[in-house]
Structure formats: C-alpha cells, structure tokens
Amino acid sequence: MAGHHHHHVDPDAGDARVFWAVIVNLGLTVAQVIGGILSGSLAMIADAVHNLSDALSLIIAFFARKIARRPADAAMTFGYGRAEVVAALINYTTLIVIGLYLIYEAVIRFIEPSGVDGWLVVIIAGIALAVDVATAMLTYSLSKDSVNIRAAFLHNVADALGSIAVIFAGTLIILYDWQIIDPLVTLLIAGYILWMSLSEIGGVIRILMLGSPPELDAGEVLAAMKQVDGVTSAHHLHLWQMQEHQAALDAHLVIDPDRWTNADAIKQAVKDLLKRDFDLSHTTLEIECSRHACVGAEAIGG
C-alpha cells in the first residue's frame, strides 16, 4: 500500500529563491565565457554553457511554478499542474543535447590540441564553484517536492561537479602542463550530464504518457477494489498521474445484483478504500449490475 507525504515550501518564498538563483547563474555564465575564451579552456567554456543551461532551466522552472498554480478552467479542466512536468522535460532534453555537443567538442580538441592558461581557469572555476553551491542551497529544499525544480537543481549539481573538475584540470596544467586533461575533463562533465539526464527523464516521460504512478501497482489496486463487500468484479481500470503529486483513477465496478439497492454506498466504500490505502483522492467509478455488465472487458485499460 502506498501513500504520499510532502512538506511544501511557501510558494512565494520558493519563487524568490528561484529568482535569485537565476540572477547569480546569469552573472556567473558571463564571467565563465569570458574566462574560457581568454584562457583557451574548452572545459571552462563547457562549464559555462552548462551554467547558462542552469540559468535557463531555472527561468523555465520559475515560470512553470507560476503557471502550475493557476486554477482549473474550461480550457484546462485538470488545471495547469503539468506545466512543471513539461518544464522538466524541456530541461532534461536540453541537458542531453548539451552533453552530446560537449563530447563532440572534446573529441575535436583531442585531435587539435590548444594551449590553456591554468591559473585563469582555476580562479574563475573557483568562483563558479562558490556560486554553484549557493544556488544549490537556494533550490535544494524545493527540489524534494517538485520534478520541475529537481531538474533545475540537478543542472546545478552537475555544474558544481563540473567546476570541481575544471579546477582539477587547471591545477594539473599549472603543475605539469598536461594540456590533454582539458578535453578529458570535458568528456567527464559531458558523461555525467548524460547519465544524470537519462536517468531522470524517464519518470517525466512516464507522467506525460499517462503512465501509472511508479509507487502503485495497478493489479494490487484492482484486487483491493474487488475485496469490498458487494463488488463482484471491476474492469476498465485506468490509473495515471495528472501531475507529479496527484494520481487519478477511473474504473467500472460490477455490483452484486442482490446488493444493487446499496450500490451508491458500495461505490463510496471503494472510494474510501482507494483514498485510505493508496492516497487516490481523484477517482471516477461507473457502477454496473452484474446482470448487465460489460462482456469481455479488459481488467486494466480498454
């Protein structure tokens, strides 16, 4: 049996944190791009490009949070909560494109090496790391409750690790003049970005594809419904996530003909069970007398 327990941050306070995270990341991106060009470091430019994606992801997350809080209307009868899921999909897709591009650039740099100013790389990457940590602190608590903010937060975590890798590369260039370390570190950054994005994007796609919540088993839900006194069977079960933290269910309930006069009470008992044991508060149940039930109906879907 599954349940959800969420500790929400005040929306206005959360918006302010995201806003300031955007500002510091945009400022850092400018500094990193300039530093990367002046030092000749591909790894730093890779970190800057990723940092720009951090800022863009936070901007998308900021507006998605605003849109998601709009009430349902005639055009969007389920409300606007999926705006955050769409924003997460955009952010993860962007990260995957960036990761592939960085691999391409790193391979080119292996073929055609160029000099890198190690000191400038270390100094700017050190500043970047401080900003990355500050941004992560601003969005960490929000990321626990929102796939949208989590996508933006993971952008930032990847960037912090990228900054550490760039500092490491710059230090080796200063000490040993290992120029090859710059594209090598770029490959490591790109590999981490791809691994992180591909591991997270599946859950986002599952929501958009109307998949059942991963913590719920449709067969288990169906079996529990059939255990309610007066229910002879159930079919046409659909279980999906309307948004990240709100699942929904609709199904046909087949009622024992001897209990038909109590059909409404039986339906309510099933609804109470779904809420209590599976945290399903948005349920639509169609009742059928077993004498006139659907013939050959699929238990799940259909």
Q: How confident is the model over 204-213, as pLDDT tens digits?
A: 999 999 999 9
State whether 129 and 165 are in the same domain. yes
- Neighbouring C-beta atoms of residue 243, cutoff 10 Å: 18
Considering its fold, how many domains does the chain have in total? 2
In a domain, 81, yes or no: yes
**Is 269 in the same domain as 231?**
yes
The domain containing residue 285 runs over which residues? 218-292
Regarding whether 224 and 149 lie in a shared domain, the answer is no
Same domain, 39 and 79: yes
28 vs 48: CA distance, rounded Å: 8
pLDDT over threshold 70, residue 11 = no
**281 with 249, same domain?**
yes
Residue 2 lies in a domain: no
What residues are paired with 238 via a beta bridge?
A: 250
Q: Which pTM was predicted?
A: 0.74
In a domain, 297, yes or no: no
Report the alpha-carbon distance of residue 257 to residue 289 in Å, rounded.
6
Residues 52 and 130 placed together within one structural domain of the fold: yes
Q: What is the pLDDT of residues 179-223, one digit of tens each?
A: 888 888 888 888 888 888 898 899 899 999 999 999 899 999 999
Q: Final residue of a domain: which of 208, 226, 260? A: 208
Buried (b) or exposed (e) across 154-170, using 16+ Cβ within 10 A? bbbbbbbbbbbbbbbbb
Question: Does 103 share its domain with 245?
Answer: no
Could you say which of 173, 208, 243 is where a domain stops? 208
What pLDDT shows up at residue 6?
A: 40
Q: Could you tell me the two tokens for 194?
A: 């791809």
* pLDDT value, residue 5: 38
Regarding whether 184 and 37 lie in a shared domain, the answer is yes
**CATH of residue 180:** 1.20.1510.10
Lowest mean pLDDT among 20-29, 117-126, 147-156, 269-278: 147-156
Residue 10 clears pLDDT 60, i.e. is over it: no
Radius of gyration of the chain (CA): 26
- On whether both 51 and 75 belong to a single domain, the answer is yes
- One domain for residues 60 and 109: yes
Q: pLDDT value at position 3?
A: 44
Q: Are residues 86 and 64 in the same domain?
A: yes
Share above pLDDT 70 across residues of the chain, in percent, rounded to a whole number: 94
151 and 19 in a common domain: yes
